[in-house]
Amino acid sequence: MEEKLAVVPGPPRLTYVLLQAATGVVLVGFAFITEKFEVIFRQMEMKELPLPTEAFLALARFVRWPVGLVLLSLVDLSLIALAQRGILDRPLKKLVWANVIFLLLVVPFYVLSVFLPIIRIQQALSK
């Protein structure tokens, strides 16, 4: 009987911790990568960017701001600590899926919204 109980997996705490850490790292990484694109947009005097691009630029500015970076880090570390202590065991599977879906959506959406204005300019210049 004890052998069967030992095989039953517990809540996916480690999976959630790794995904939550990856989400935080991806957001911070995108924030600092976006800074170079922001400089390019300013140099080209692009004032009317698409709304998703403006949203990512604003989010990146917030995360690069020291208070925003600390706030994001505290939220990320707090969620990781709560998961490790078992406080988030009940909604943990939903949180894992939320992180997976967030990462799967934000990466291509970020790439499209930041790179698309530059691609359109390149196409316009090549004509």
- Reported as a single tens digit per residue, the pLDDT across 108-124 is 999 899 888 888 888 88
Residue 80, token pair as written in the block? 């990781």
pTM: 0.81
Which residue is associated with the tokens 């039953």? 8
Separation CA 12–CA 96 (nearest Å)? 8
Host H or E run for residue 114: helix 92-126
Reduced DSSP (H G I as helix, E B as strand, rest coil) percent helix, strand, coil of the chain, to 5? 85, 0, 15
Q: Residue ranges of the domains in the chain?
A: 11-126
Select from 111, 115, 97 the least CA-distant residue to 26: 111
pLDDT tens profile 9-67? 567 888 999 999 999 999 999 999 999 999 988 888 888 888 989 999 999 999 999 99
